[in-house]
C-alpha cells in the first residue's frame, strides 16, 4: 500500500525559460494552472515529448508534443525548442490520461470514510494506473457523513498534490430504488429531496458534478431539470424503472446509465425496462464495468455494438481494496469481503463494487472485443470528458488542453503518467 504513494512523488527536474516562437497554450487554462503553482509547490517548465506515437483524431501518429506550464502548447511532426526538457518516448504511445468517473476508493482508502490524506492516497494510486482525473463516488450515507466527505474534498483541494486530479464528487444516491439498491444501505435511501442536494452543492462549492438517481422514485423524473440547473449531470440506475419511465427521465435530461446491466431491471422481450431504454437511445452514455464479473465479455461486445464507441464509458466502480490483496474491507457503512479479487457484501454476498483499475479495464476491453487500443481509448478519455463537460481540460491531446497523459508500452500497459506536465508515475523507476 505504501509503495503506491511513493511512486507518485517522482518529479522531473525542470528548467524555466520563455517560449520562443512556437505556440502558446490558451490563456484560460494557463491561468488556471498558474494559480495552482503555489498550492502544488511546483515550478512549471516546458517539455518536449518526442520519438513516440501520439494519439490524435482516434489514431496514433508520429508527432511531437510541446508543453508549457502544464498545458499543451504545440503539436507537430517536428518541433525544435532547445530550452525545453526533452522526454524520449522510446517508440511508446502517448495518449490522453484516463478519467474514472465512478470509483469508491483504492489503496486502502474508502471515499466515504477518507480524510484529505486518504483522497491523496487514492489519487496517487490512480496515477499508477494511467488515470489523471477521477470523481469521488460517495455511496448513499447519512447527511452528516456525506457533508464530511465533501469537506474532506474541499480540504484536499488546498493541499500539494502528487497524483491524479480529483475532479469533483459523484453522489450515488440517496434517491434510489430499494429493490435494486445493490450495496446501498436501505435505511439511508430517500425520496426526492432537492433542497438536500442544493445544500450539498453549496458545501462542495459547485463541484458535485454527477449524481445517480432511480427515475421511478416519485417525482424524481420531474426534478431532473432541477439537478441539471445545479450543474450536476444526471445518470439513472439502481432502478427497476419500466421503459416509459426511463424514457421520460432521458427526455428530462438524464444523460447516462450507472454501471449498465448491474443493479437494474434487465431487458425482456415484452418489458424492455430501463436497460432497453438506455441501450436504444443514441445520446445516453452507458457506464460499463469491464472486470469480467459484472458483465460477460459477450455483453460488453453487445453494448458496444448497440451504443457505439462514442457513447460508452469504462468505469472501475472500485473500492478501497483495489491494488490490495484479498481480505475484509469497507464500502461506506458496509463490510465487504474480497475473494479472488471479487468484492461482495459480508452480510448476503451481494456484489459490492470491484477491485478493477483503469489500466486493467483497457486491457480487458482489448481482450474482450479484439479491437485495437486506438478504437477503445475514447471509453476512458473523451467520452467521460464530454459527459461531464470537461473537454476544455481533459480527454484529448490538443493545444490548450492540460498536459495530462498516459504512456503505454507495446503491450498497451501503462508505463508512465503525467498530470499537468508532472511525471507522477514511472514503471521503470519503480523497478
The CATH code of the domain that includes 405 is 2.30.40.10
Q: How confident is the model at residue 3 (pLDDT cuts 50, 70, 90)?
A: very low
pLDDT of residue 85 exceeding 90, the answer is yes
Q: Are 429 and 423 in contact (CB under 8 A)?
A: no
What's residue 330's pLDDT?
A: 94
- 104 lies in the same domain as 86: no
Higher per-residue confidence, 193 vs 430: 193
The CATH number of the domain holding residue 343 is 3.20.20.140
Parent domain of 361:
98-388
What's residue 35's pLDDT?
A: 42
What's residue 369's pLDDT?
A: 98
- 368 lies in the same domain as 415: no
Q: Are 49 and 67 in contact (CB under 8 A)?
A: yes
- 34 lies in the same domain as 136: no
- 215 lies in the same domain as 255: yes
- 117 lies in the same domain as 65: no
What's residue 21's pLDDT?
A: 27
Burial 242-260 (b: 16+ CB within 10 A, else e): bbebbbbbbebebbbbbbb
- 74 lies in the same domain as 123: no
Q: Are 355 and 321 in contact (CB under 8 A)?
A: yes
Residue range 416-427: mean pLDDT, rounded? 95
Q: How confident is the model at residue 430 (pLDDT cuts 50, 70, 90)?
A: low
- 51 lies in the same domain as 166: no
What's residue 321's pLDDT?
A: 96
Phi, psi of 199 (to 5 degrees): -65, -45
What's residue 80's pLDDT?
A: 86
Cα(117)–Cα(122) distance, integer angstroms: 9
- 270 lies in the same domain as 180: yes
pLDDT of residue 44 exceeding 60, the answer is no
- 92 lies in the same domain as 115: no
Question: Total structural domains in the chain?
Answer: 2
Phi, psi of 129 (to 5 degrees): -110, 10
pLDDT of residue 404 exceeding 80, the answer is yes
CA distance to 92, 96, 108, 405, 430, per residue, from 89 (Å): 5, 14, 32, 12, 17
pLDDT one-digit tens code per residue, 253-291: 999 999 999 999 999 999 999 999 999 999 999 999 999
Q: How confident is the model at residue 192 (pLDDT cuts 50, 70, 90)?
A: confident
Q: Are 19 and 44 in contact (CB under 8 A)?
A: no
Q: Cα 366 to the chain's mean position, in Å?
A: 19
- 32 lies in the same domain as 57: yes
CA distance to 109, 222, 347, 375, 425, per residue, from 417 (Å): 21, 42, 38, 20, 5
3-state secondary structure of 165: strand
- 114 lies in the same domain as 12: no
- 295 lies in the same domain as 239: yes
Residue range 102-118: mean pLDDT, rounded? 96
pTM here? 0.89
Amino acid at each position: 500500500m505504501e509503495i503506491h504513494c511513493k511512486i507518485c512523488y517522482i518529479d522531473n527536474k525542470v528548467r524555466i525559460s520563455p517560449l520562443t516562437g512556437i505556440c502558446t497554450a490558451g490563456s484560460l487554462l494557463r491561468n488556471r494552472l498558474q494559480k495552482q503553482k503555489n498550492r502544488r509547490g511546483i515550478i512549471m517548465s516546458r517539455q518536449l515529448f518526442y520519438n513516440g506515437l501520439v494519439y490524435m483524431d482516434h489514431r496514433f501518429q508520429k508527432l511531437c508534443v510541446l508543453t508549457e506550464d502544464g498545458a499543451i502548447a504545440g503539436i507537430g511532426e517536428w518541433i525544435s525548442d532547445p530550452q525545453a526538457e526533452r522526454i524520449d518516448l522510446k517508440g511508446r504511445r502517448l495518449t490522453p490520461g484516463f478519467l474514472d468517473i465512478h470509483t469508491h476508493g483504492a489503496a486502502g482508502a474508502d471515499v466515504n470514510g477518507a480524510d484529505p490524506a486518504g483522497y491523496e492516497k487514492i489519487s496517487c494510486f490512480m496515477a499508477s494506473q494511467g488515470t489523471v482525473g477521477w470523481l469521488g463516488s460517495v455511496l448513499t450515507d447519512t447527511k452528516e457523513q456525506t457533508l464530511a466527505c465533501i469537506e474532506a474534498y474541499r480540504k484536499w483541494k488546498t493541499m500539494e498534490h502528487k497524483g491524479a486530479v480529483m475532479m469533483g464528487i459523484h453522489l450515488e444516491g440517496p434517491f434510489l430504488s430499494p429493490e435494486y439498491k445493490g450495496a446501498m444501505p436501505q435505511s439511508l435511501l430517500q425520496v426526492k429531496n432537492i433542497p438536500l442536494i442544493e445544500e450539498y452543492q453549496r458545501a462542495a462549492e459547485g463541484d458535485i458534478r454527477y449524481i445517480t438517481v432511480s427515475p421511478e422514485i416519485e417525482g424524481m423524473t420531474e426534478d431532473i431539470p432541477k439537478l441539471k440547473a445545479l450543474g450536476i449531470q444526471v445518470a439513472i440506475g439502481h432502478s427497476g424503472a419500466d421503459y416509459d419511465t426511463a424514457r421520460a427521465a432521458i427526455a428530462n435530461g438524464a444523460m447516462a446509465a450507472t454501471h449498465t446491466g448491474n443493479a437494474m431491471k434487465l431487458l425482456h422481450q415484452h418489458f424492455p425496462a430501463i436497460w432497453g431504454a438506455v441501450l436504444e437511445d443514441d445520446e445516453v452514455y452507458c457506464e460499463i464495468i469491464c472486470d469480467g464479473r459484472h458483465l460477460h465479455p459477450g455483453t460488453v461486445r453487445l453494448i458496444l455494438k448497440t451504443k457505439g464507441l462514442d457513447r460508452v464509458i469504462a468505469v472501475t466502480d472500485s473500492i478501497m481494496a483495489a491494488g490490495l490483496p484479498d481480505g475484509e474491507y469497507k464500502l461506506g457503512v458496509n463490510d465487504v469481503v474480497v475473494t479472488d479479487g471479487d468484492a461482495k457484501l459480508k452480510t448476503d454476498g451481494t456484489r459490492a463494487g470491484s477491485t478493477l483499475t483503469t489500466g486493467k479495464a483497457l486491457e480487458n476491453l482489448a481482450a474482450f472485443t479484439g479491437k485495437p487500443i486506438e478504437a477503445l481509448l475514447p471509453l476512458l478519455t473523451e467520452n467521460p470528458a464530454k459527459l461531464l463537460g470537461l473537454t476544455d481540460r481533459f480527454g484529448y491531446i490538443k493545444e490548450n488542453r492540460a498536459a495530462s497523459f498516459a504512456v503505454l508500452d507495446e503491450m498497451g500497459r501503462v508505463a508512465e503518467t503525467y498530470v499537468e506536465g508532472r511525471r507522477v508515475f514511472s514503471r521503470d523507476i519503480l523497478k
